[in-house]
């Protein structure tokens, strides 16, 4: 029986630090198979991924991941705690024994903290202070309850993984890995510098793109794909968001997931003069909402993700790619997985009433930006060795 | 008391034939004031106007029209019979004594035919033959009932004007003017060749545009505006239509005006592969629907015009421009007009629940294509003499 270790990732795009993380996951847990649950074409912060999910899967497969399963847009584009719990549930459904995750506090006892958090009463509804963001209030809550202060985004993710894991009927082993800033890692493992995905995306957005900077911190396959393009970002999506808000009536906007407290009026008001996405976000910003929250709301709006559709979404496991070991592992677990295991999207799955209807709809909006087929006729990728 | 003669027009764009028509209207009826009810930013056949409504108003004012009132998009983008009846009702509301219109059958007794048509039972519901278009069935109906055969589009308009006029409590005088093909008219009246608006739009779409051809058949003010651009057409709107159909769920599409008999599924199916608007229309086409019908449906879709909004629309008179005589006339009638007379759109009129909410929403989509303000802060234009 093959043993699997899981990770929850975005790979936006896949870089040397990710390759290092994969190899650590395998080494620390002695797993036969490394499974990545990866955001699809849209990422947690509320943005289109710079490369599509198939391109990012290809990068993961040649850099040590054995099985890539899609974290659907409806689950991925969520606050950290929901993103984390969706990912944990998927890894558990995929039969993983352990979860490896990066954190700034690797010395904490996550297993123990998870149990503590899971025993706390449901708290989301209590954060009703309109002068502060949800994130600030969640932070205060953790500080009061656990004496933990959250200074880095990945700390919140780590705590959320721990809590979601403790809530499973059979929790997995949590393996925190100390996160490090950008630093030199010229080891056999990483063959290059480690940077952050944010820094890479920023270098790509320079005019001209800072290719030399990018090249140092990503594997060859990522670099080639980035150079070929097309690269996707909010700037390419913004004309459609603007049109969308202009043509929508208030009822259309009110139906959008997370459109509450009159934000639809604010959107309608601010969009007319907005020339860039950044300017629009800035115009929307109030003390009550973080930029991430508003950015996700904009993404729900442009993707027409309604509360009803998000609430009706049933879980599934869509396989984006595998190595021979990953494929073997899939074979091993396929009788036990609690959710539909999908390797090919047919019209029935993709139609509106189908299990993947909502995600297919959002993928077609992404496809419309790049012209690259995202849905029908795509099968799980296999690793193509780097030249 | 000033006497007014009315016309129902699109001016897409304003050309020498239109100038000739205006002067004939004045001459034949000896009117003090010529009133044009003109389609706004979207025209009857289901397309954005090549120039915006303010530009087209400016052209009309320097070429003899005294008062331009907007035929709202919800009324203009309609089959010929509804377009005609909305226009007639507006001219009547504006106190016109006569209506001048071009037709290929100027010898017919329209007053008499109008009475006959108005006495026929309501027929729209009876055309249920799915193998033929509505237009074909309407044509057969007219042939059976009146012995008239409709060979030109303007014949149908003429009959529709006649019927709508006969249905008024105080019908206006109908003044048909024989329509002529493109021909030489180097008279004092027209100062140039007469072409058709269709031919002008085609010449503009050539690469490069056939400016010489256009220049011969339009007044100087039209030519200058066309040369400055931006020119609007379906090609500029199509990326938004494509995005719109991809992101919409079936319920969104079903809410669109005239989206019946499963057309929403057909749209969803055909849009993915469509690269141009023409290709998409062709892919949608069946025996049951004319291209005009489908083109209007596409426009309703991209403008998000719902059945509920169209049905709830209340009439109003939005003034786009006037000469001193036109302004004087407005003054004279303003106590008697049965509908709100609007010379400036404030936020209350433009908000969703406001009288002009739906039209403002569609105008903002047009504005988004050109960057030229269409709504707020715009006042009726006055004629600026040609240089």
B3-57: pLDDT as tens digits: 999 999 999 999 999 999 999 999 999 999 999 999 999 999 999 999 999 999 9
DSSP state of B104: S
Residues A368, B243: C-beta atoms closer than 8 Å: yes
Structure-model confidence comparison of residues B134 and B330, the more confident one:
B330
Lookup result for tokens 């331009």: B68
Residues 6 or more apart whose CB falls under 8 angstroms from that of A220 comprise: A386, A387
- Distance between the two ends of chain A, CA-based, in angstroms? 33
- Report the alpha-carbon distance of residue A337 to residue A340 in Å, rounded: 7
Identify whether the C-beta of residue A284 lies closer than 8 Å to the C-beta of residue A274. Answer: no
- Report the alpha-carbon distance of residue B242 to residue B248 in Å, rounded: 10
Residues 6 or more apart whose CB falls under 8 angstroms from that of A330 comprise: A67, A319, A322, A341
Within 90-129 of B, beta carbons closer than 8 Å to A belong to none
pLDDT for position A185 = 42
Q: Which of B262, B269, B275, B279 is nearest to B246 (CA)?
A: B269
Low-confidence ranges of chain A (pLDDT < 50): 182-190, 387
Residues A243, B247: C-beta atoms closer than 8 Å: no
CA distances, A268 to each of A235, A254, A275, A291 (Å): 19, 12, 14, 18
φ, ψ at A65 (rounded to 5°): -80, 140
pLDDT for position A163 = 94
Contact of B368 with chain A, judged by CB distance below 8 Å, is answered with yes
pLDDT for position A294 = 97
Residues 6 or more apart whose CB falls under 8 angstroms from that of A6 comprise: A34, A35, A36, A37, A91, A94, A96, A98, A99, A100, A172
Residue B366 known to bind ligand: no
Structure-model confidence comparison of residues B89 and A154, the more confident one:
B89
Nearest C-alpha in A relative to B251:
A352
For the stretch A60-107, pLDDT in tens is 999 999 999 999 999 999 999 899 999 999 999 999 999 999 988 888
CA distances, B217 to each of A7, B224, B384 (Å): 69, 13, 20
Residue A154 known to bind ligand: yes
- Report the alpha-carbon distance of residue A306 to residue A252 in Å, rounded: 9
H helical segments located in chain B: 16-29, 53-61, 73-76, 80-93, 110-119, 134-146, 153-166, 197-205, 211-217, 220-228, 234-247, 250-254, 263-271, 277-284, 291-302, 307-312, 324-333, 347-350, 357-370
Q: Which of A177, A35, A21 is nearest to A92 (CA)?
A: A35
Virtual CA dihedral for B187, B189, B192, B194, nearest 10 degrees? -110
Question: Can you list the domains of chain A with their CATH numbers?
Answer: 4-180+313-370 (3.40.50.620), 234-309 (no CATH)
Segment holding A328, helix H or strand E: helix A324-333
pLDDT for position A180 = 65
Of A302, A304, A368, nearest to B249 by CB-CB distance is A304
- Report the alpha-carbon distance of residue B366 to residue B41 in Å, rounded: 7
Residue B179 known to bind ligand: yes
Identify whether the C-beta of residue B320 lies closer than 8 Å to the C-beta of residue B68. Answer: yes
pLDDT for position B124 = 57
**Could you tell me the two tokens for B312?**
């709830």
Q: Which of B130, B10, B119, B23 is nearest to B73 (CA)?
A: B10
HSE, side-chain direction, 13 A CA sphere, residue B168: 26
Residue A199 known to bind ligand: no
Residues A247, B309: C-beta atoms closer than 8 Å: no
- Report the alpha-carbon distance of residue B363 to residue B365 in Å, rounded: 5
pLDDT for position B188 = 41
Residues B306, A249: C-beta atoms closer than 8 Å: yes
């Amino acid at each position: 029986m093959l043993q699997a270790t899981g990770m929850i990732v975005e790979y936006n795009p896949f870089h040397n630090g990710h390759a290092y993380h994969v190899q650590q996951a395998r080494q620390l847990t002695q797993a036969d198979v490394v499974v990545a649950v990866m955001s699809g074409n849209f990422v947690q912060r509320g943005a289109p991924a710079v490369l599509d999910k198939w391109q990012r899967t290809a990068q993961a497969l040649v850099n040590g991941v054995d099985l890539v399963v899609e974290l659907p847009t409806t689950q991925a584009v969520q606050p950290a705690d929901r993103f984390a719990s969706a990912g944990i549930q998927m890894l558990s459904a995929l039969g993983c024994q352990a979860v490896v995750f990066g954190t700034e506090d690797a010395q904490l006892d996550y297993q123990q903290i998870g149990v503590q958090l899971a025993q706390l009463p449901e708290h989301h509804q209590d954060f009703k202070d309109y002068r502060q963001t949800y994130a600030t209030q969640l932070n205060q809550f953790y500080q009061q309850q656990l004496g933990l202060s959250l200074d880095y985004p990945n700390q919140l993710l780590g705590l959320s993984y721990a809590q979601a894991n403790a809530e499973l009927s059979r929790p997995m082993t949590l393996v925190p890995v100390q996160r490090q800033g950008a630093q030199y890692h010229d080891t056999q493992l990483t063959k290059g510098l480690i940077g952050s995905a944010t820094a890479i995306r920023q270098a790509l957005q320079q005019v001209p793109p800072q290719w030399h900077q990018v090249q140092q911190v990503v594997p060859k396959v990522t670099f080639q794909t980035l150079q070929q393009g097309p690269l996707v970002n909010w700037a390419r999506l913004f004309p459609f968001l603007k049109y969308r808000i202009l043509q929508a009536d208030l009822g259309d906007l009110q139906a959008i997931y997370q459109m509450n407290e009159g934000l639809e009026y604010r959107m309608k008001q601010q969009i007319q003069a907005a020339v860039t996405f950044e300017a629009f976000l800035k115009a929307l910003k109030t003390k009550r909402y973080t930029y991430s929250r508003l950015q996700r709301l904009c993404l729900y709006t442009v993707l027409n993700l309604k509360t009803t559709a998000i609430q009706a979404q049933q879980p599934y496991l869509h396989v984006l790619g595998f190595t021979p070991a990953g494929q073997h592992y899939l074979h091993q677990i396929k009788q036990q997985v609690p959710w539909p295991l999908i390797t090919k999207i047919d019209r029935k799955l993709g139609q509106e009433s189908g299990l993947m209807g909502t995600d297919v709809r959002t993928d077609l909006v992404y496809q419309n930006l790049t012209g690259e087929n995202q849905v029908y006729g795509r099968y799980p990728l296999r690793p193509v060795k780097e030249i």
